[in-house]
């Protein structure tokens, strides 16, 4: 009376099923490809450039630290550097804390 009859549907062909599943996965795969080129690849490039800059630090370079301090590199070690932030005041920092190397003569 109130309930309608339910009829079974024919099973789809096997080849069409495989093609449908591949087409349903395509947006997810495309999303990961776009994510790689928009976010992951530029971040890896930035990390590579920062590593090269930190390895190329030399005594006398003028640098900006992650905390915003400006100073001149006075000592260089394997993991730490000495940065002179003003006449007679020297601090020790990890090499990774250097964010930017300034052009010579920026600090006076």
Q: Output the pLDDT for position 18.
A: 73
Whether the full predicted model's pTM is greater than 0.75, yes or no, is: no
Give the 3-state secondary structure of residue 57.
coil
Of 103, 23, 95, 94, which is closest to residue 53 (Cα–Cα)? 95
Mean per-residue pLDDT for 36-56? 95
Cα(73)–Cα(49) distance, integer angstroms? 19
Q: Output the pLDDT for position 24.
A: 87
Cα(108)–Cα(102) distance, integer angstroms? 12
Q: Output the pLDDT for position 33.
A: 94
């Amino acid at each position: 009376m109130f309930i309608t009859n339910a009829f079974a549907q024919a099973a789809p062909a096997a080849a069409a099923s495989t093609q449908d599943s591949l087409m349903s996965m395509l947006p997810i795969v495309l999303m990961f490809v776009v994510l790689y080129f928009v976010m992951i690849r530029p971040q890896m490039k930035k990390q590579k450039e920062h590593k090269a800059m930190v390895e190329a630090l030399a005594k006398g370079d003028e640098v900006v630290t992650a905390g915003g301090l400006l100073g001149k590199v006075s000592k260089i070690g394997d993991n730490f550097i000495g940065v002179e932030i003003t006449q007679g005041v020297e601090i020790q920092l990890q090499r990774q804390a250097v964010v930017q190397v300034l052009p010579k003569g920026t600090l006076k």
